[in-house]
Amino acid sequence: MNRTSYAVIDSPVGPLTLVADEDELIGLYFANAPLAAAQPSGWIRDERRLRPAAVQLAEYFAGTRTRFDLPLAPRGTPFQRAVWNALLDIPFGETSSYGELARAIGQPSASRAVGAANGRNPLSIVIPCHRVIGADGSMTGYGGEISRKRVLLDLEARVRGVRAGQLDLQISST
């Protein structure tokens, strides 16, 4: 029998509910997400089990982590999982459009379906759906609210800028 655990952690974008089935992360929800508010019966509050995810998220928000290293098991259709896997390929601090994601999964005419799958991503931040923007570069809908999307993208741009500057400094000093 699977044991679903959850923990609620504070973050710069508000409380986050982490959900794990055994040792695999299956959900990361913003405070306004219906599932985070409901916490279905049978869920057990267990901060210890979710500590690795909480630590990595704290490192991400501190600007010291650009890639998560957690066992993930998002639940969705094969198409949704293909989209979510493609999201993992968007580099930290960069963005992609729905059309680019559709092409990346080999379905160039499926940008609307990609958008729908992106909106159903159960692992916000860890599977970086916030990195998807409109083809014209505009901020598009985000289940976690556009203001949070902007905070996440700004954080990544700032961290990437600092790291790029450090790299340039190292190259020029040799």
Mean pLDDT, residues 68-96: 95
- 41 pLDDT above the threshold of 70: yes
Alpha helix segments (H runs only) across the chain: 34-38, 51-62, 78-88, 98-104, 111-119, 146-172
- Could you report the per-residue pLDDT of 89-98, keeping only the tens digit for each? 999 999 999 9
Angle, in degrees to the nearest 10, between helices 111-119 and 78-88:
80
Decide which of 16, 34, 62 is a domain's last residue.
62
Which comes out higher in pLDDT, residue 154 or 139?
A: 154
Q: Are both 50 and 120 inside the same structural domain?
A: no
Query: Reduced to 3 states, what is the DSSP secondary structure of residue 132?
Result: strand
User: Could you tell me the residue range of the domain that residue 53 belongs to?
Assistant: 4-62
Give the CATH number for residue 37: 3.30.160.70
155 neighbors 63 (Cβ within 8 angstroms): yes
Q: Are both 82 and 52 inside the same structural domain?
A: no
- Is residue 69 in some structural domain? no
Residues carrying an active site annotation: 129
What's the confidence (pLDDT) of residue 77?
96
Count of domains observed in the chain: 2
Residue whose tokens read 């957690």: 70
DSSP code, position 54: H
Q: Are both 87 and 141 inside the same structural domain?
A: yes
Exposed / middle / buried, residue 26 (Cβ in 10 Å: 0-12, 13-18, 19+) = buried
